[in-house]
Structures are given as C-alpha cells and as structure tokens.
Amino acid sequence: MSDVFDFVVVGGGPGGCAVAARLAEARPDWRVALIEAGPAKSGVVSDVPLGIAISTPRKSERNYAYETVPQKALNGRCGFQPRGRGLGGSSLINGMIYIRGQREDYEGWERDAGCHGWGWDEVLRCFKQAENNERGADEFHGAGGPLNVADLRSPNPIAGTFVEAAVQAGFERNPDFNGFCQEGFGYYQVSQKGGSRFGAGRGYVAAAPRPNLAVITDAQAQRVVFEGRRAMGVEIVRDSRRETIGARAEVLVACGTFGSPQLLMASGVGPAAHLREHGITVVADSPELGSNLQDHIDYAINREFRDPMLFGVDFGTPVQVWRGWKDYKRAGTGLLTSNIAESGGFVRSQPDLARPDVQLHFVIGIVDDHGRKRHFTRGYSVHVCVLRPKSRGTVRLASPHMRVAPLIDPQFLADPADLHTLMNGVYQAYKVLRAPSMAGYEGRAIYGANWAEGAELEALIREHSDTIYHPVGTCRMGGDDRSVLDPQLRVRGVDGLRVVDASVMPTLISGNTAAPSAMIGERAAEFIRQSNEAAARAA
C-alpha cells in the first residue's frame, strides 16, 4: 500500500466532502483521505454562475456527461445525465439551488423504510449545522456552517414577474422554500458567496484545510480492496500508476448515484449473477444494489420572446455578456451571477393532495435539450418536474472497468401515474403564464402550440422531457434485510464499508438534491463518531 489512513473517502461530491471534513475535524489523530477522480480546482467556467450554460451541456474534465440507455416511454431517446467531476462533484456544475425537501420526505424514510435516525428533527439539525445562511440563523436555518447560502445578487425582473403572476393566479407567495412550508412561489436561494458559485469542495475542504485530511485528486478509483469480507482500502490509478490506499477503520464510498453502485459492483458487491456475467468474483451478493433508481422527470415549456432582459444567443449577446462580466469582476453583481433558474415554486398537481408534488423552475433563457440545441433568439422556459415519481430504474455495469460508463436506465414514465402528474403540473404552470403579469410575455412556443393539452401535450412530453439532474436511490438504506445499506449507511454483507451520497435515499426527496447530499455526509460522520465513542466506553 502506498499509504494507510484511518478513513478513506472515495468521491468528492457534497456527501464525500462533508463526511471527510467532519471526520478530520472530529479528531486530529484520525488521518482521512479524500479521493476524487477529477481536478482539485473548480475553474472559471464553474465559478461564474452563468457558466452553467456552458458547463452543463458538454462533456469535459468536470462533467461526465453520461447518457442513458434508450427510454421506451420517451420515443426511444437516450436521456442526458450531466454529473460533476472534480472536488465538489455535481456542485461544480449544478444550478446552485438550495432546497432541502419536505418534512414528510424524511418522516417517510423513518416510518416506511425503517431508516431510524433519519426523521425530520435529526436531519434538520444536520442541515442547520452545514449551513451559513446570509439571512441569519433561526428555527429552520443555521449560520457559521461550511455551505454558504445566499439570495441572488442581481435577480432578473422577469423572474420576479413570474412570481407576481403566480400570486395573481391564486398561489401563495413563499419567501423561504426551506422554512415552515415549502408550497408557493418565490426566488430560490443559492449556493453562492459574493456572487460566485460556492460548492461543497470550496466550503468543506478548501476554506478550512486540515493537516490530517489528505485530498487526492485526479485519481480514478478502480475497486474497493477486501480481505475476506472486510474493506481494507481502495485501489486507484494516479499519474498512470496503480496503487492502493489503505483504510484502518472504514472505506466510505461517495461516488454518486451512478458511480457508487458501479464501484461496488466492480469490487464484487452487488447482484451475484450480474457480477459473474462480467467475470467479477462475488464478495457479497446484494440483489438490490443498482436498483431503485429514481429521478425527477422534467418537461420544459420553452417560449421565444425577444426581450433584452432575457438571456439568449443573438447579435446583442456579446455586449450583454461583456457588461455582465464587468459588473461581476467589479462588484460580484449583474447577469453573470444568475443561476439561470432564478425563481419558481412548489404546487399540487391536483387540489385534493396533502402537499406539493410538482416543482417549477423559471429560467431566464430557452433551455432546449439541456442547452445542447441552440436557438438564435431570446426567450424563457418554465420547467415542470414530478417530485415523487413512481417509476423505478437501474444502474448496471457495461464493463468491469471503471473507465467505462455504466448502463443507466431511469425507466422514465414507466409508471403511467408520472405522466398524469407531469401533465397536470404543466396545466398549473399555464395558470401562472396566463395571469395578467405574464400575459405580455406569452411569446411563441418553440415546439407545439402555446397551450398544448391532451394528446398533443403527451406527445410533446414524450419527445422532449428528460431529467432535471436529481438521480438517487441505487444503494438504498432501509430496515429490511434486502436493503443495500442499514440505516447507519453500512453495506450489508461486508464490514468496514459505507455509502455516503444521494444513492442511499430510499425515496427521492421533494426538491433539488445537493443540500440533502451534504446532509447525508454530515449524518454519516455523526454515526461514525458515535460508534467510536461507544466502542471507547465499552473498552
């Protein structure tokens, strides 16, 4: 082994950064290694919030840019799955929206999935200790934590007009989606500081370096190394050399909803028959590993509307960006501080529901096929996503080698209820767009009729809907023996191995997943500290 640590964390996304930093903080005598396949530095395109228009649509050293297998319910199209690569993970390329989900999501984890210790009170405490909300601390928010949460520095007036229209349409105004109630419309708070992106790598690692935390970047994990059924370290490739990083206590896998099951299966943990198909020696048969994939299916109402306040690609764009750059460099304000999806809301697709099941994002530009299809014009889009989909998919190996992308099959709209919810969500969005404040911004639909309904809307959804980047669930925790993890995130069937990222969620939370992923890392560090303290007392 090239080096031995107490804890080895694989994956530098929000969950991995959180657990690595908190373990290093807990005891100076613990040596912690954080291994990340991508680069240590975020780069200018990532730091500038509007850079997501460039970073999300294309493959790069900071974006895996996966594709799914063909989706039957989406006319056989392959979906697009951008995932962050580098210290910070997907917080390097996401929309920076800070959302926790609904109280009922976590109460359901504890009550229905047997995830004891994951009720609302426990997770709220972890959310608060992770947060530095610039509005200050209160019953629902923290101050002084590593993740900076801010209001937009230069909100777009038309995003505000969308909120006013929602109020005119009969929806509630909500200034804090992470407060007492999530329902309603308002501006999103964002993971920014001084107008720049403030991802998990910056907050947990770069802002507070520790001598007992070794950050190993540009190092691709190949497999977890076992002695018998105990995880002893991680084999990596760094600078074209293969080496093993040892772990005295535990290996913590935080490679994300696609990468974590891939690494575990490549290491011999997973559905036994599938592993044998790829010539992998089975360490532990875990039949459900890689199953239970859930994601927010999203449909965008894209409208062309030529207004200089909106962002697009036309003859005025160079001047607009240049002015924005000057504002950004001088004061951390202006167009370039926009996360693009500035405002939105949470609504019930049907009035008899107890809580919102649809989320809307108002985007200050046209987003067609994740921004991969450009239009020489300006406009806006309203994204509609199903918060708690019933469809379930899988992640499987395409090869035993980690350099080969896994087979990702979300099985979008496999359950007809998801299509029904999505269509009703679009009708709720129409109510907002038809309200007086937005009436002058109707514009022209990029595809189909402006107010498509019924069979026409269904056809548009099948041709144009896709993820809004919140996959979870492939290493689900639970109180039942078939769950991949126990409620303390330990992999069943082996020792010294946990998973610490969004893949552990038994069910998808009602909102964006970056903040909950960091919370999972915070909770994992607590479990480990408590376990070690209990062992010390027993000794």
Residue 60 to residue 20: CA distance in whole angstroms: 25
Residue 52 to residue 68: CA distance in whole angstroms: 21
Please name the residue that has the structure tokens 């949470």.
346
**Phi, psi torsion values for 250, nearest 5 degrees:** -150, 155
- 14-30 burial string, b = 16+ CB within 10 Å, else e? bbbbbbbbbbbbbeeeb
521, two tokens: 């890392």
Is 383 an annotated catalytic residue? Answer: no
Residue 401 to residue 510: CA distance in whole angstroms: 34
Catalytic residue among 141, 361, 464, 470: 470
Residue 12 to residue 90: CA distance in whole angstroms: 9
Helix/strand number for the chain, H first, E second: 14, 24
100, two tokens: 């926790």
Residues 6+ apart with CB under 8 A from 389: 294, 295, 296, 297, 415, 418, 421, 508
Residue 268 to residue 245: CA distance in whole angstroms: 18
Residue 87 to residue 149: CA distance in whole angstroms: 19
Q: Are 413 and 296 in contact (CB under 8 A)?
A: no
Q: Which residues pair with 301 in a beta bridge?
A: 382
Residues 6+ apart with CB under 8 A from 25: 208, 210
| CA 362 centroid distance within chain | 18
Please name the residue that has the structure tokens 């107008």.
195
Q: Are 67 and 81 in contact (CB under 8 A)?
A: yes
Using CA atoms, how far residue 295 sits from 363, 385, 465, in Å, is: 20, 10, 12
393, two tokens: 């998919």
Residue 360 to residue 424: CA distance in whole angstroms: 12
SS3 516: helix
Sign of CA dihedral 509, 513, 517, 519: negative
Active-site annotation, residues: 470
